[in-house]
Structure 1
Amino acid sequence: MALLTLQTNRLTLTPFAKTDLAELHALFTDSDIRRYLLDKRIVEETWTASVIEGSLGMFQNQGYGLWAIRQTDQRPIIGFCGYWRFEHLKYPLQLIYGLLPAWWGQGLATEAARAMLSYGFETVGFTGIIAATDLPNQASVRVMNRLGMSHLETDETTVYYRLIPPFEPLI
Protein backbone atom coordinates (compact mmCIF):
# COMPACT_ATOMS: atom_id res chain seq x y z
CA MET A 1 0.00 0.00 0.00
CA ALA A 2 1.33 3.44 -0.91
CA LEU A 3 1.88 5.70 2.07
CA LEU A 4 -0.61 8.53 2.07
CA THR A 5 0.01 12.15 3.00
CA LEU A 6 -2.98 13.78 4.68
CA GLN A 7 -3.68 17.49 4.37
CA THR A 8 -5.89 19.67 6.58
CA ASN A 9 -6.42 23.42 6.55
CA ARG A 10 -3.27 24.05 8.62
CA LEU A 11 -1.42 20.75 8.76
CA THR A 12 0.38 18.17 6.66
CA LEU A 13 0.51 14.65 8.07
CA THR A 14 3.09 12.28 6.62
CA PRO A 15 3.73 8.69 7.68
CA PHE A 16 6.73 8.32 9.98
CA ALA A 17 9.90 7.88 7.94
CA LYS A 18 13.36 6.69 8.95
CA THR A 19 14.67 10.17 8.09
CA ASP A 20 12.43 11.60 10.85
CA LEU A 21 14.34 9.78 13.61
CA ALA A 22 16.09 12.79 15.20
CA GLU A 23 13.00 15.01 15.19
CA LEU A 24 10.72 12.26 16.50
CA HIS A 25 13.17 11.30 19.21
CA ALA A 26 13.32 14.93 20.35
CA LEU A 27 9.52 14.96 20.44
CA PHE A 28 9.26 11.67 22.38
CA THR A 29 11.81 12.84 24.92
CA ASP A 30 10.08 16.18 25.59
CA SER A 31 9.03 16.13 29.25
CA ASP A 32 5.48 17.29 28.51
CA ILE A 33 5.00 14.60 25.85
CA ARG A 34 6.46 11.92 28.15
CA ARG A 35 4.18 12.89 31.03
CA TYR A 36 1.12 11.16 29.55
CA LEU A 37 2.41 9.22 26.57
CA LEU A 38 5.26 7.40 28.25
CA ASP A 39 4.46 7.79 31.96
CA LYS A 40 7.51 10.07 32.28
CA ARG A 41 9.87 7.31 31.05
CA ILE A 42 12.90 8.55 29.10
CA VAL A 43 13.38 6.49 25.95
CA GLU A 44 16.51 5.77 23.94
CA GLU A 45 16.85 6.64 20.28
CA THR A 46 16.69 2.91 19.51
CA TRP A 47 13.16 2.89 20.99
CA THR A 48 12.11 5.72 18.66
CA ALA A 49 13.67 3.85 15.71
CA SER A 50 11.64 0.77 16.66
CA VAL A 51 8.43 2.86 16.73
CA ILE A 52 9.20 4.13 13.23
CA GLU A 53 9.90 0.55 12.02
CA GLY A 54 6.74 -0.70 13.71
CA SER A 55 4.67 2.03 12.11
CA LEU A 56 6.08 1.32 8.65
CA GLY A 57 5.26 -2.36 9.15
CA MET A 58 1.72 -1.52 10.23
CA PHE A 59 1.23 0.57 7.09
CA GLN A 60 2.51 -2.27 4.94
CA ASN A 61 0.36 -4.94 6.62
CA GLN A 62 -2.76 -3.12 7.82
CA GLY A 63 -2.85 0.21 5.98
CA TYR A 64 -2.46 2.39 9.07
CA GLY A 65 0.25 3.60 11.43
CA LEU A 66 1.62 6.87 12.77
CA TRP A 67 1.94 10.20 10.98
CA ALA A 68 4.27 13.11 11.74
CA ILE A 69 2.43 16.42 12.03
CA ARG A 70 3.86 19.53 10.44
CA GLN A 71 2.36 22.91 9.79
CA THR A 72 1.58 23.15 6.09
CA ASP A 73 4.69 24.12 4.11
CA GLN A 74 6.90 23.93 7.23
CA ARG A 75 9.67 21.45 7.97
CA PRO A 76 9.79 20.89 11.74
CA ILE A 77 7.66 18.10 13.17
CA ILE A 78 5.32 19.56 15.79
CA GLY A 79 3.53 16.35 16.78
CA PHE A 80 2.23 12.96 15.78
CA CYS A 81 -1.13 11.29 15.20
CA GLY A 82 -2.32 7.91 14.05
CA TYR A 83 -3.21 4.40 15.09
CA TRP A 84 -1.07 2.25 17.34
CA ARG A 85 -1.44 -1.22 18.78
CA PHE A 86 -1.06 -1.72 22.53
CA GLU A 87 -1.36 -5.50 22.73
CA HIS A 88 -1.31 -5.52 26.54
CA LEU A 89 -4.41 -3.29 26.84
CA LYS A 90 -8.10 -4.13 26.85
CA TYR A 91 -8.56 -2.05 23.67
CA PRO A 92 -5.36 -2.79 21.73
CA LEU A 93 -5.89 -0.59 18.65
CA GLN A 94 -6.16 3.08 19.56
CA LEU A 95 -6.09 6.51 17.99
CA ILE A 96 -3.20 8.43 19.55
CA TYR A 97 -1.99 12.00 19.15
CA GLY A 98 0.40 14.44 20.73
CA LEU A 99 1.81 17.90 20.10
CA LEU A 100 4.79 19.76 21.43
CA PRO A 101 3.70 22.27 24.11
CA ALA A 102 4.34 25.33 21.91
CA TRP A 103 1.44 24.14 19.73
CA TRP A 104 -1.12 23.40 22.46
CA GLY A 105 -4.38 25.32 22.68
CA GLN A 106 -4.68 26.08 18.96
CA GLY A 107 -7.02 23.25 17.94
CA LEU A 108 -4.26 21.45 16.05
CA ALA A 109 -4.63 18.13 17.90
CA THR A 110 -8.34 18.13 17.09
CA GLU A 111 -7.62 19.01 13.45
CA ALA A 112 -5.07 16.22 13.07
CA ALA A 113 -7.22 13.66 14.89
CA ARG A 114 -10.25 14.58 12.78
CA ALA A 115 -8.24 13.86 9.63
CA MET A 116 -7.17 10.57 11.19
CA LEU A 117 -10.76 9.60 11.99
CA SER A 118 -11.76 10.27 8.38
CA TYR A 119 -8.84 8.15 7.19
CA GLY A 120 -9.74 5.35 9.59
CA PHE A 121 -13.38 5.16 8.56
CA GLU A 122 -13.12 6.02 4.87
CA THR A 123 -9.81 4.46 3.83
CA VAL A 124 -9.12 1.65 6.30
CA GLY A 125 -12.78 0.76 6.89
CA PHE A 126 -12.83 0.78 10.69
CA THR A 127 -16.27 0.21 12.20
CA GLY A 128 -15.31 1.93 15.45
CA ILE A 129 -12.34 3.84 16.81
CA ILE A 130 -11.11 3.94 20.41
CA ALA A 131 -8.96 6.64 22.00
CA ALA A 132 -7.76 6.78 25.59
CA THR A 133 -5.85 9.05 27.91
CA ASP A 134 -4.62 9.21 31.48
CA LEU A 135 -7.30 10.57 33.80
CA PRO A 136 -5.43 13.82 34.59
CA ASN A 137 -5.03 14.69 30.88
CA GLN A 138 -8.16 16.80 30.55
CA ALA A 139 -6.87 18.53 27.40
CA SER A 140 -6.95 15.18 25.62
CA VAL A 141 -10.45 14.49 26.97
CA ARG A 142 -11.57 17.82 25.48
CA VAL A 143 -10.10 16.79 22.11
CA MET A 144 -12.05 13.51 22.20
CA ASN A 145 -15.24 15.39 23.08
CA ARG A 146 -14.73 17.90 20.24
CA LEU A 147 -14.28 14.94 17.87
CA GLY A 148 -17.73 13.70 18.85
CA MET A 149 -16.41 10.63 20.65
CA SER A 150 -18.51 9.12 23.44
CA HIS A 151 -17.24 8.09 26.85
CA LEU A 152 -16.83 4.31 26.85
CA GLU A 153 -15.42 3.58 30.30
CA THR A 154 -13.01 4.71 32.98
CA ASP A 155 -10.70 2.53 35.02
CA GLU A 156 -8.28 3.41 37.83
CA THR A 157 -5.90 5.39 35.59
CA THR A 158 -7.41 5.75 32.11
CA VAL A 159 -10.50 7.14 30.42
CA TYR A 160 -11.62 5.52 27.13
CA TYR A 161 -13.68 7.11 24.38
CA ARG A 162 -15.20 5.57 21.25
CA LEU A 163 -16.56 6.78 17.94
CA ILE A 164 -18.69 4.68 15.63
CA PRO A 165 -20.04 5.71 12.20
CA PRO A 166 -21.49 7.79 10.89
CA PHE A 167 -18.65 10.25 11.31
CA GLU A 168 -19.12 13.67 9.79
CA PRO A 169 -15.75 15.40 9.41
CA LEU A 170 -15.87 19.06 10.32
CA ILE A 171 -13.64 21.65 8.72
Structure 2
Amino acid sequence: MDSMSTSPPFPILVTERLVLRQLTVDDSESWFQSLSDDEVAVLIGMEPLEHVDESKGIIDSFSDRYEKGKGMAWAMTLKEDDKFIGTCSYEKIDKENLSGEIGYDLLKEYWGKGFMTEALRAIIDYGFEHLNLNRIEAHTAAINASSRSLLRRLGFFEEGIFRESSFFRGEFRDVCQYSLLRREWSEP
Protein backbone atom coordinates (compact mmCIF):
# COMPACT_ATOMS: atom_id res chain seq x y z
CA MET A 1 0.00 0.00 0.00
CA ASP A 2 1.49 3.36 -0.94
CA SER A 3 1.61 6.43 1.27
CA MET A 4 -1.22 8.09 -0.69
CA SER A 5 -3.64 5.28 0.15
CA THR A 6 -6.75 6.17 2.12
CA SER A 7 -7.52 2.58 3.09
CA PRO A 8 -7.30 1.76 6.78
CA PRO A 9 -4.70 -0.79 7.87
CA PHE A 10 -5.79 -4.31 6.97
CA PRO A 11 -7.30 -6.08 10.01
CA ILE A 12 -5.45 -9.07 11.42
CA LEU A 13 -7.84 -11.54 13.06
CA VAL A 14 -6.59 -14.10 15.57
CA THR A 15 -8.52 -17.24 16.53
CA GLU A 16 -7.63 -20.21 18.70
CA ARG A 17 -5.48 -21.87 16.01
CA LEU A 18 -5.25 -19.33 13.21
CA VAL A 19 -3.96 -15.93 12.26
CA LEU A 20 -5.92 -14.30 9.44
CA ARG A 21 -3.86 -11.63 7.73
CA GLN A 22 -4.00 -9.84 4.41
CA LEU A 23 -3.54 -12.09 1.40
CA THR A 24 -0.46 -10.83 -0.48
CA VAL A 25 1.52 -11.79 -3.57
CA ASP A 26 3.92 -13.56 -1.20
CA ASP A 27 1.12 -16.13 -0.79
CA SER A 28 0.83 -16.75 -4.55
CA GLU A 29 2.77 -20.01 -4.62
CA SER A 30 0.99 -21.51 -1.60
CA TRP A 31 -2.45 -20.48 -2.85
CA PHE A 32 -1.62 -21.81 -6.30
CA GLN A 33 -1.12 -25.25 -4.70
CA SER A 34 -4.76 -25.20 -3.62
CA LEU A 35 -6.30 -23.60 -6.70
CA SER A 36 -4.38 -25.85 -9.09
CA ASP A 37 -5.76 -28.98 -7.39
CA ASP A 38 -8.55 -30.41 -9.54
CA GLU A 39 -10.59 -31.67 -6.58
CA VAL A 40 -10.56 -28.22 -4.95
CA ALA A 41 -11.29 -26.44 -8.22
CA VAL A 42 -14.31 -28.63 -9.02
CA LEU A 43 -15.88 -27.90 -5.63
CA ILE A 44 -15.49 -24.14 -6.02
CA GLY A 45 -16.64 -24.24 -9.64
CA MET A 46 -13.55 -23.16 -11.52
CA GLU A 47 -10.94 -24.76 -13.70
CA PRO A 48 -7.68 -25.47 -11.86
CA LEU A 49 -5.08 -22.74 -12.22
CA GLU A 50 -2.21 -23.63 -14.54
CA HIS A 51 0.33 -20.93 -13.63
CA VAL A 52 1.24 -19.19 -10.38
CA ASP A 53 0.76 -15.85 -12.16
CA GLU A 54 -2.97 -16.59 -12.19
CA SER A 55 -3.06 -16.64 -8.39
CA LYS A 56 -1.06 -13.39 -8.36
CA GLY A 57 -3.70 -11.83 -10.62
CA ILE A 58 -6.49 -12.83 -8.25
CA ILE A 59 -4.54 -11.42 -5.30
CA ASP A 60 -3.98 -8.15 -7.19
CA SER A 61 -7.73 -8.00 -7.82
CA PHE A 62 -8.42 -8.37 -4.09
CA SER A 63 -5.87 -5.65 -3.29
CA ASP A 64 -7.66 -3.34 -5.72
CA ARG A 65 -11.06 -4.17 -4.21
CA TYR A 66 -9.70 -3.47 -0.72
CA GLU A 67 -8.34 -0.09 -1.81
CA LYS A 68 -11.83 0.74 -3.14
CA GLY A 69 -13.63 -0.62 -0.06
CA LYS A 70 -15.37 -3.28 -2.16
CA GLY A 71 -13.78 -6.48 -0.87
CA MET A 72 -10.98 -7.99 1.19
CA ALA A 73 -9.16 -11.31 1.43
CA TRP A 74 -7.38 -12.95 4.34
CA ALA A 75 -4.68 -15.59 4.18
CA MET A 76 -5.40 -18.28 6.74
CA THR A 77 -2.19 -19.23 8.53
CA LEU A 78 -1.54 -21.60 11.39
CA LYS A 79 -0.81 -19.71 14.58
CA GLU A 80 1.94 -22.17 15.57
CA ASP A 81 4.13 -21.85 12.45
CA ASP A 82 2.59 -19.26 10.08
CA LYS A 83 1.90 -21.97 7.45
CA PHE A 84 -0.57 -20.88 4.76
CA ILE A 85 -3.58 -23.23 4.66
CA GLY A 86 -6.24 -21.33 2.70
CA THR A 87 -8.15 -18.10 2.25
CA CYS A 88 -11.39 -16.52 3.34
CA SER A 89 -12.72 -13.28 1.98
CA TYR A 90 -15.41 -10.76 1.42
CA GLU A 91 -15.63 -11.20 -2.34
CA LYS A 92 -17.95 -8.21 -2.44
CA ILE A 93 -18.85 -5.48 0.02
CA ASP A 94 -21.89 -3.32 -0.75
CA LYS A 95 -21.71 -0.30 1.56
CA GLU A 96 -24.99 1.15 0.33
CA ASN A 97 -26.98 -1.97 1.22
CA LEU A 98 -24.74 -3.01 4.14
CA SER A 99 -24.15 -6.46 2.70
CA GLY A 100 -21.21 -8.65 1.84
CA GLU A 101 -20.52 -11.92 0.08
CA ILE A 102 -18.01 -14.36 1.53
CA GLY A 103 -15.80 -16.85 -0.27
CA TYR A 104 -13.33 -19.42 1.04
CA ASP A 105 -11.01 -22.28 0.13
CA LEU A 106 -8.73 -24.59 2.05
CA LEU A 107 -5.79 -26.82 1.21
CA LYS A 108 -7.07 -30.41 1.05
CA GLU A 109 -4.93 -31.73 3.88
CA TYR A 110 -6.79 -29.38 6.28
CA TRP A 111 -10.33 -30.39 5.29
CA GLY A 112 -12.58 -31.69 8.05
CA LYS A 113 -10.57 -30.27 10.95
CA GLY A 114 -12.71 -27.23 11.79
CA PHE A 115 -10.30 -24.62 10.44
CA MET A 116 -12.80 -23.07 8.03
CA THR A 117 -15.51 -22.88 10.69
CA GLU A 118 -13.03 -21.08 12.95
CA ALA A 119 -11.94 -18.66 10.21
CA LEU A 120 -15.44 -17.87 8.98
CA ARG A 121 -16.66 -17.15 12.51
CA ALA A 122 -13.91 -14.55 12.76
CA ILE A 123 -14.68 -12.82 9.46
CA ILE A 124 -18.43 -12.94 10.08
CA ASP A 125 -17.88 -11.24 13.44
CA TYR A 126 -15.67 -8.70 11.70
CA GLY A 127 -18.31 -8.07 9.04
CA PHE A 128 -21.10 -7.42 11.50
CA GLU A 129 -19.04 -5.54 14.09
CA HIS A 130 -16.58 -3.51 12.03
CA LEU A 131 -18.00 -3.32 8.52
CA ASN A 132 -21.48 -2.71 9.96
CA LEU A 133 -23.01 -5.27 7.62
CA ASN A 134 -26.61 -6.31 8.05
CA ARG A 135 -26.45 -9.26 5.65
CA ILE A 136 -23.73 -11.71 4.67
CA GLU A 137 -24.30 -14.12 1.82
CA ALA A 138 -22.50 -17.05 0.28
CA HIS A 139 -22.90 -19.03 -2.91
CA THR A 140 -21.76 -22.61 -3.26
CA ALA A 141 -22.06 -25.36 -5.83
CA ALA A 142 -24.97 -27.63 -4.96
CA ILE A 143 -22.61 -30.62 -5.26
CA ASN A 144 -20.38 -29.20 -2.50
CA ALA A 145 -22.06 -30.90 0.47
CA SER A 146 -19.27 -29.93 2.89
CA SER A 147 -19.59 -26.23 2.08
CA ARG A 148 -23.36 -26.35 2.39
CA SER A 149 -23.06 -28.10 5.76
CA LEU A 150 -20.50 -25.54 6.94
CA LEU A 151 -22.81 -22.64 6.11
CA ARG A 152 -25.76 -24.27 7.88
CA ARG A 153 -23.62 -24.94 10.99
CA LEU A 154 -22.73 -21.25 11.05
CA GLY A 155 -26.42 -20.32 11.02
CA PHE A 156 -26.82 -19.40 7.36
CA PHE A 157 -30.26 -19.85 5.82
CA GLU A 158 -30.55 -21.47 2.39
CA GLU A 159 -32.50 -18.91 0.40
CA GLY A 160 -32.72 -20.91 -2.76
CA ILE A 161 -31.08 -22.74 -5.58
CA PHE A 162 -30.12 -21.07 -8.82
CA ARG A 163 -31.00 -23.97 -11.08
CA GLU A 164 -28.43 -24.73 -13.77
CA SER A 165 -26.94 -21.25 -13.38
CA SER A 166 -23.33 -22.35 -13.81
CA PHE A 167 -21.93 -24.06 -16.90
CA PHE A 168 -18.90 -26.09 -15.89
CA ARG A 169 -17.06 -28.78 -17.83
CA GLY A 170 -19.81 -29.26 -20.35
CA GLU A 171 -22.73 -29.42 -17.96
CA PHE A 172 -25.04 -27.05 -16.15
CA ARG A 173 -24.76 -26.99 -12.36
CA ASP A 174 -27.00 -25.69 -9.63
CA VAL A 175 -25.70 -23.03 -7.24
CA CYS A 176 -27.10 -22.56 -3.73
CA GLN A 177 -27.48 -19.14 -2.13
CA TYR A 178 -27.21 -18.73 1.63
CA SER A 179 -27.53 -15.68 3.86
CA LEU A 180 -27.04 -14.69 7.46
CA LEU A 181 -28.50 -11.53 8.99
CA ARG A 182 -26.92 -9.58 11.82
CA ARG A 183 -29.90 -10.24 14.11
CA GLU A 184 -29.48 -14.02 13.54
CA TRP A 185 -25.78 -14.13 14.40
CA SER A 186 -24.59 -15.14 17.80
CA GLU A 187 -21.05 -16.37 18.12
CA PRO A 188 -21.10 -19.77 19.84
Please give the residue correspondences for 1:63-82 in structure 2 after superposition, counting only pairs within 5 Å. Answer: 64-82=71-89
Counterpart in the other structure of 1:40? 47
Separation (CA, whole Å) in 2 of partners of 1:162 and 1:69: 22
Find out whether 1:56 has 2:56 as its counterpart.
no
Q: In structure 2, how many angstroms separate the alpha carbons of the residues matched to 1:84 and 1:129? A: 11
Which letter maps to 1:75? Answer: D
Residue 154 of structure 2 is aligned with which of 144, 147, 154? 147
Q: Which runs of 4+ in 1 moved over 6 A?
A: none
Equivalent residue in structure 1 for 2:91, among 84, 99, 106: 84
Q: Which residue of 182, 185, 188 corresponds with 1:165?
A: 182
The equivalent position to 1:101 in structure 2, one of 82, 105, 108, is 108
- What CA RMSD, in Å, does the superposition of the two structures yield over aligned residues? 1.8
Determine whether 1:28 maps to 2:46.
no
Give the secondary structure class of the aligned counterpart of 1:155. strand
* Equivalent residues of 2:49, 2:55 under 8 A apart: no
Sequence identity of aligned pairs in percent? 24
Which structure's CA Rg is the greater one?
2
Asked if the contact 1:67/1:80 (under 8 Å) is kept, the reply is yes
Q: 2:112 aligns to what SS in structure 1? A: coil
What is residue 120 of structure 1 aligned with on the other side?
Answer: 127
Q: Deviations over 1:97-151 (max 9, x none)?
A: 1111111111111111111111111111111011111011010011101110111
Indicate conservation of the 8 Å contact 2:159/2:178, yes or no: yes
What letter is aligned with 2:187?
Answer: P
Q: 1:111 aligns with which of 118, 122, 142?
A: 118
Unaligned 5+ runs, structure 1: 86-91
TM-score by length of 1: 0.88
1:6/1:12 contact within 8 Å kept = yes
Local SS of the residue matching 1:19: helix
Partner of 1:89: none
Q: CA deviation at 1:44?
A: 2.8
Corresponding residue pairs, total: 164
Q: What CA distance in whole angstroms lies between the structure 1 residues aligned with 2:132 and 2:63?
A: 19
How far is 1:8 from its partner?
A: 0.7
The answer to which of 41-50 and 72-81 deviates more is 41-50
Distance 1:58 1:26 in 2: 23
Counterpart CA distance in 2 for 1:25 and 1:42 is 7
Instruction: Name the aligned partner's letter for residue 51 of structure 1.
Output: I
- Distance in 2, matches of 1:39 and 1:140, equals 15
Secondary structure of 1:40's counterpart equals coil
Q: Which runs of 5+ in 2 are unaligned?
A: 1-7, 93-98, 164-173
| Conservation of the 8 A alpha-carbon contact between 2:12 and 2:20 | yes
Deviations 1:76-117 (A, max 9, x none): 2111101114xxxxxx95211111111111111111111111
